[in-house]
Amino acid sequence: MDFNLKGRTAFITGASRGIGKAIAEALAAEGANLGLFGRDLERCEQVAKELRAKYTGIRIAVVPLDLEQGTAAIKPAVEQGVKELGAIDILVNCAGGAYRGRLTEIPDELWEDYFAVKPLGLIRMTREALPYLKKSPQARIINISGTRGREPGGVSVMSGPINLGTLSITKALANEFGPYGITVNAICPGSTDTGRWTELVEITAREKKLSIEAATKHLVADVPMGRVVVPQDIAGLAVYLASEQAGMITGTAINVDGGRTRGIP
């Protein structure tokens, strides 16, 4: 199937590793040009180098950006990306994370730091990209939320409001920007095999007094599909949501969690 992504330009935050990197690779494989945004310039350059070697005929810009620095940093970063690539057709807001711990263990500063990246950084990034997205014939915003936005609790208490806020802004923007032809959707990963999975396994092992192997088995046993989600599972859906074929899908949020979330999504 031709997703009509060849020559489109995707700006991706959190592109230095994990899910963002997998989405960058999947879009590159479809022929999209990439703006890779991240704090760790060296790691982003490495991703660009790998993708340039693998996929010819695409253009890649690497733009340093710490979303915690707010609009003063985000505005010039978006402008730099547009200067290098000329357009924005797809915005993937992937950067983020959440401190893992119980409510009483998390100091205010950590709440503020993580919220500055998601949803606040996502809101600011979207605001700066919107004038360019309005000019695109196939404009897409894809926000990476998380299943904890729908099923809060445990050591992921901070992920709840961060990801729920992301779902709320996704729906609001879909309503507002549909008339401009911009679709806005969210993907909710379940626990996914990035650095965050390793951390979850270690915390589970510590809290339940299990070995790392036993803690891994314990977590995987909770997933009906019987394995942990990998970043490529998320990337496949991101490509589809960015495609021409997904033009009538907007304002929705799709779990990619192997069925782990209980209840109706």
Ligand X SMILES: NC(=O)c1ccc[n+]([C@@H]2O[C@H](COP(=O)([O-])OP(=O)(O)OC[C@H]3O[C@@H](n4cnc5c(N)ncnc54)[C@H](OP(=O)(O)O)[C@@H]3O)[C@@H](O)[C@H]2O)c1
What residue ranges in the chain does DSSP mark as E strands?
9-13, 33-38, 60-64, 90-93, 139-144, 182-189, 253-256
Of the candidates 258, 99, 139, 112, the one whose C-alpha atom is nearest the C-alpha of residue 188 is 258
Under 8 Å between Cβ of 157 and 103: yes
**Of 118 and 140, which has the nearer Cβ to ligand X?**
118
- Using CB under 6 A as the binding rule, the residues of this chain from 68 to 107 that contact ligand X are 68, 94-97
One residue of 17, 52, 59, 171 binding ligand X per CB under 6 A: 17
How far is it, in rounded angstroms, from Cα 155 to Cα 57? 44
Q: 92 - beta bridge partners? A: 12, 142
One residue of 119, 146, 165, 258 binding ligand X per CB under 6 A: 146
**Of 129 and 138, which has the nearer Cβ to ligand X?**
129
Give the containing element (helix H, strand E) for 161. Answer: helix 159-177
Q: Which stretch binds ligand X (CB under 6 A): 59-67, 74-82, 125-133, 177-185?
A: 59-67
Site track for ligand X across 169-208, x = CB under 6 A: --------------------x-xx-xxxx-----------
| CB of residue 246 to ligand X, shortest distance in Å | 20
With 0-12 / 13-18 / 19 or more C-beta atoms within 10 angstroms meaning exposed / middle / buried, residue 56 is exposed
One residue of 43, 75, 127, 218 binding ligand X per CB under 6 A: 43
How far is it, in rounded angstroms, from Cα 49 to Cα 10? 17
User: Which amino acid belongs to residue 113?
Assistant: D
| CB of residue 233 to ligand X, shortest distance in Å | 11
150 binds ligand X (CB under 6 A): no
Q: Which stretch binds ligand X (CB under 6 A): 60-68, 125-133, 175-183, 212-220?
A: 60-68
Of the candidates 254, 244, 195, the one whose C-alpha atom is nearest the C-alpha of residue 16 is 195
**Of 40 and 105, which has the nearer Cβ to ligand X?**
40
Find the helix packing angle between 231-242 and 18-29, rounded to 10°.
50
**Of 68 and 244, which has the nearer Cβ to ligand X?**
68
119 binds ligand X (CB under 6 A): no
Q: Which residue is nearest to ligand X (CB)?
A: 18
160 binds ligand X (CB under 6 A): no
- Using CB under 6 A as the binding rule, the residues of this chain from 215 to 254 that contact ligand X are none
Q: Which two tokens stand for residue 235?
A: 């990337």
Question: Which residues here bind ligand X, judged by CB under 6 A?
Answer: 13-14, 16-20, 38-40, 43, 65-68, 94-97, 117-118, 144, 146, 189, 191-192, 194-197
